[in-house]
A and B are shown apart, each in its own frame.
Chain A
Amino acid sequence: MSRAAVSTPAPSSDDDWADDDLPRSLAVRYSLQDRVFLHVVRVLAFTVLAITSGIGIFLGAQSVPTLRHYGLSFFTEYRWLPSQDIVGIAAVVLGTLQVAVIALLLAFPLSLLTALFITDWAPAWARPLLVRMVDLMAAVPGIVFGLWVLIVIQPHATEVTHWISKYFGWIPFFHVRTDVDYPIWTQAPGYPSYAGSAAIAALAVAMMIFPMATSVMREVFAEAPAGEKEAALALGATRWSMVRTVVLPFGRGGIIGGTMLALGRALGETISVVMVISQAFEIKPYVLESGTATISALIASGFKEASPAQLSALLTAGFLLFVMTLVVNSLAAVVVARSRGGGVTEL
């Protein structure tokens, strides 16, 4: 049997050793088994470190040839014309942000209300079931939601976006550059103007990020102190006033953190966006209008015909996406960690 042999210096024969109460110096000598274990685990962990940081460094290093080749116009150019070697990411960055923000605007209220419903409205027997449903939804592949939005939802969604652009088109965001008053609008020459817009792609992304936001918020809401909740109810509060005065202030960190984690996910969502949008490289605020582009969709559609310089431009765009996600996620992690008081109970 091997064991960690903790050898202490043997007490010397002098009698005065018991007088000084200095801590003994422990020389830890691990057994062979433990040394092998520690060594193997350390090597594996540093392999993972090398792989993961290698990716980051490789992506970062790609921005050097890109900037050398395209200069600063890489960030200001909105067109992506590989055949003419005009390449820039201004439009795709804007499109990425538009899709992610709209998805967040759609998913945030739904997540917040669903999380509150699970912790404070649902009967006790239904709670585990609902939690499991949300977790299950997180596992649904993006391509399934993409397919659903593309074929099932898009006909209805274009109806709604047409209505919005018809009555609220004077707000720049809701404007669609077509004849909104055409009598039979589905046959209007501008009908394609409504399909494949940033807003409709955001529907699919919202379905993807909803479970994540909901489960983070729910976890924090569930930790709201029961004593305070019961005190509020005992003082005659209705359920809503209890939630408003106890649960929501307690869960503020979770709300913010969960939302930001969802934003990080939304920025990188690829396949459902690629399926829905009709790609167009253009800087515009009209989110209901057909045609947008995101970084991930650009990579998915542009990698095949890319020359080495353009491939490194794509990698730079990917690096930028990664940095955006990283910043958002780190902020979210800080916020969530701060909102969770106390650690795990020690046994």
Chain B
Amino acid sequence: MSTVTAPPRHLAEPDPAEPIAPPVETLRQAGHRTREDVLSLLGAVVGSVATTWLLYTRILPFSGAVGFTVCWYAVFVAFYAALTALTQPRRIVVDRVVTAVVMAAPALIGLALLSTVVSTVWKGLPALTHLNFFTDDMAGVRAEDPFSMGGIAHAILGTVIEVCIAVAIAMPLGLATAVYISEVGGRGAVLVRTVVEAMTALPSIVAGLFIYSIWIVNLGMETSGLAASLALAVMALPIMARASEVVLRVVPNGLREASYALGAGRWQTVWKVVLPTARPGLATALILGVARAVGETSPLLLTSGASTFFNADPLHDPMNSLPLFVYSAVTTGSPQMEQRAYAGAAVLLVVVLSLFLLARVAARGRKNR
């Protein structure tokens, strides 16, 4: 915490005239947990499990794991409060109850997240353990065929192509917009910023519908990877512009002024001072934008069409992608395809996770220098 100021230097230094070693200060243990606290917590846990088990499964006509957990938690909080109330004043009882409630929320979310990841990987495992799942496409593979046939290589390829095109469109435009808003300024910048900020509210499905009605219905183009890329770009453009602008805004003004004072021009200041200073933040913002685009399904649903075969040409023919593969596999309703969907979702999770780690590395790389 920043409120503790360091002692003046001359006090900390030993006086050379009197070489008395200052007494070694040991940090006190500031822990506030006594044996009684631990035991009452333990007692509450054991007591509540036993009571709930007895009531829930033996006496009351309830069943089900969810109900058991909820009842156990309520009983636990009550027991914990009662045990604490035996020895502690009321405000400490309240504090402990609130602590128990506050701890439960992240625990619940953590469990849900863990369950999401584990169940996705676990149910996808039968398909994931076949190598052909990563090297083959689904052409001619029926839903009930064994996992040694068919794969999602076409969907991975499609995702890579679509996201690359979308990023190639959205990233330069977004960055240029951010530079314009934050480095050029003026009345135009206010207008651009207002509109861009408003458009971050555009739901992704509406972006998809926009491209569908303009590109496919009005212009008569076919569903293709390019249409999907355009939809993704339209969706990601305001998000990337806004995120980069936020990063550029926190570049200290002193740096810009120092640059101007040294005689640098506008372009030199932006290129040599502002952008390098903001680079880690920009990298993080842009990679997170890419991660968002990779996982987005709804614009693709309308624009790309779902193929079962390899298609490396974004201009013609439908092109599948990972999220779309997962969606269409689930909607077939066949148990085999469901497992393939889980496997596809697991691959998607791995992709997003690695992008996320990349963003972390990009954010840290600069700081260590």
* Per-residue A-contact encoding for B185-217, CB less than 8 Å = 1, 0 else: 000110110011111111111111110111001
Q: Which of A3, A112, A328 has the most CB of B within 10 A?
A: A3
In the assembled complex, B156 has its CB within 8 A of some CB on chain A: no
**CB closest chain-A residue, reference B342:** A147
Interface of A is mostly: helix
Q: Which of A45, A159, A210, A314 has the most CB of B within 10 A?
A: A45
A303 touches B302 (CB 8 A): yes
B327 touches A48 (CB 8 A): no
With A37-B267, A58-B214, A141-B294 known to touch, is A110 a contact of B174 (CB < 8 Å)? no
* Per-residue B-contact encoding for A226-260, CB less than 8 Å = 1, 0 else: 11001000000011110000000000000000000
With A141-B296, A152-B119, A347-B255 known to touch, is A117 a contact of B103 (CB < 8 Å)? yes
Report A270 CB to chain B, min CB distance, Å. 4
**Listed stretches A8-16, A72-80, A129-137; interface member:** A129-137
* Per-residue B-contact encoding for A1-30, CB less than 8 Å = 1, 0 else: 011100000000000000000000000001
B195 touches A49 (CB 8 A): yes
B201 touches A238 (CB 8 A): no
From A113, A241, A330, give the contact of B106 (CB < 8 A): A113
Report B149 CB to chain A, min CB distance, Å. 22
| Bound: A145/B326 CA distance, A | 12
A156 touches B214 (CB 8 A): no
B204 touches A34 (CB 8 A): no
Interface residue total, chain A, C-beta cutoff 8 A: 97
**CB closest chain-A residue, reference B173:** A48
From B203, B209, B298, B353, give the contact of A315 (CB < 8 A): B209
| Bound: A142/B322 CA distance, A | 12
Report A153 CB to chain B, min CB distance, Å. 8
**Listed stretches A82-90, A191-199, A317-325; interface member:** A317-325
**CB closest chain-B residue, reference A326:** B201
B237 touches A48 (CB 8 A): yes
**CB closest chain-A residue, reference B202:** A322
| Bound: A53/B7 CA distance, A | 57
Report B231 CB to chain A, min CB distance, Å. 11
Interface of B is mostly: helix
A144 touches B204 (CB 8 A): no
Interface residue total, chain B, C-beta cutoff 8 A: 106
B201 touches A271 (CB 8 A): no
From B1, B237, B296, B326, give the contact of A226 (CB < 8 A): B1
With A48-B237, A55-B199 known to touch, is A299 a contact of B66 (CB < 8 Å)? no
In the assembled complex, A56 has its CB within 8 A of some CB on chain B: yes
From A30, A56, A133, give the contact of B266 (CB < 8 A): A30
| Bound: A41/B210 CA distance, A | 26
A152 touches B3 (CB 8 A): no
In the assembled complex, A344 has its CB within 8 A of some CB on chain B: yes
| Bound: A264/B200 CA distance, A | 10
A147 touches B180 (CB 8 A): no
From A45, A121, A329, give the contact of B200 (CB < 8 A): A329
**CB closest chain-A residue, reference B331:** A275
* Per-residue A-contact encoding for B242-269, CB less than 8 Å = 1, 0 else: 0000000110111100001001111110
Q: Which of B281-336 contact A (CB under 8 A)?
A: 288, 291-292, 294-298, 301-302, 323, 326-327, 330
From B66, B180, B291, give the contact of A139 (CB < 8 A): B291
**CB closest chain-A residue, reference B67:** A163
From B188, B234, B330, give the contact of A45 (CB < 8 A): B188
With A113-B101, A270-B203, A322-B203 known to touch, is A45 a contact of B180 (CB < 8 Å)? yes
A156 touches B65 (CB 8 A): yes
A140 touches B234 (CB 8 A): no
From A51, A59, A117, A321, give the contact of B105 (CB < 8 A): A117
* Per-residue B-contact encoding for A23-64, CB less than 8 Å = 1, 0 else: 000000011011011101110111111011101101100000
Report B259 CB to chain A, min CB distance, Å. 11
From B66, B94, B184, give the contact of A156 (CB < 8 A): B66
Chain B residues, Cβ within 8 Å of A53: 195, 199
With A151-B338, A322-B201 known to touch, is A48 a contact of B196 (CB < 8 Å)? yes
B198 touches A42 (CB 8 A): no
B323 touches A52 (CB 8 A): no
**CB closest chain-A residue, reference B329:** A147
From B95, B119, B198, B204, give the contact of A330 (CB < 8 A): B198
In the assembled complex, A290 has its CB within 8 A of some CB on chain B: no
In the assembled complex, A341 has its CB within 8 A of some CB on chain B: no
B116 touches A144 (CB 8 A): yes
B352 touches A139 (CB 8 A): yes
Give me 24 A-to-B residue pairs in the complex whose CB atoms sit less than 8 angstroms apart, sorted by A's number. A2-B268, A3-B265, A4-B266, A41-B180, A41-B183, A42-B188, A45-B180, A49-B191, A59-B210, A110-B109, A117-B103, A118-B106, A132-B360, A141-B297, A145-B116, A147-B120, A147-B341, A152-B119, A230-B3, A238-B95, A271-B298, A299-B209, A326-B198, A347-B255
Chain B residues within CB distance 8 Å of chain A: 1-3, 64-67, 91-92, 94-95, 98-99, 101-106, 108-110, 112-113, 115-116, 119-120, 123, 172-174, 176-177, 179-181, 183-184, 188-189, 191-192, 195-210, 212-214, 217, 234, 237-238, 241, 249-250, 252-255, 260, 263-268, 270, 288, 291-292, 294-298, 301-302, 323, 326-327, 330, 338, 341-342, 345, 348-349, 352-353, 355-356, 360
